Amino acid sequence: DIQMTQSPSTLSASVGDRVTITCRASQSISSWLAWYQQKPGKAPKLLIYKASSLESGVPSRFSGSGSGTEFTLTISSLQPDDFATYYCQLSRYTFGQGTKLEIK
């Protein structure tokens, strides 16, 4: 089975910061990666699919990049609404461990 390693597990940042979250796959997965945002008590929300395609309605400050084994989610300028937990996803069965983005 392909393993996903997401880092960091926790990230402290301030409004206006540029932040990057990374997912690494144990073997090449082409571009079959999605990113989700989850706020406490809420369902996950799709942000990015196919590594870099922005889901409709998602602000353009979110972007995804990468292919093969290394992928990144970047938020160009953090907004107060962005403090949440972020997950990468390879397949039905394989999600990253999550990155909790906290206010510094």
Partner 1 sequence: EVQLVESGGGLVKPGRSLRLSCTASGFTFGDYAMSWFRQAPGKGLEWVGFIRSKAYGGTTEYAASVKGRFTISRDDSKSIAYLQMNSLKTEDTAVYYCTRDREYSYGHWYFDLWGRGTLVTVSS
Binds partner 1 (CB under 8 A): choice among 50, 76, 102, 103: 50
C-alpha 84/C-alpha 22 separation (Å) is: 15
Alpha carbon separation from 98 to 56, 57 (Å, rounded): 22, 22
Contact between 87 and partner 1 (CB under 8 A)? yes
Q: Could you say whether residue 58 binds partner 1 (CB under 8 A)?
A: no
Q: Which stretch binds partner 1 (CB under 8 A): 10-18, 58-66, 73-81, 83-91?
A: 83-91
C-alpha distances (whole Å) from 26 to each of 1, 67, 87, 101 are: 9, 13, 17, 24
Which stretches of the chain bind partner 1, using CB under 8 A?
Answer: 32, 34, 36, 42-46, 49-50, 55, 87, 89, 91-93, 95, 97-98
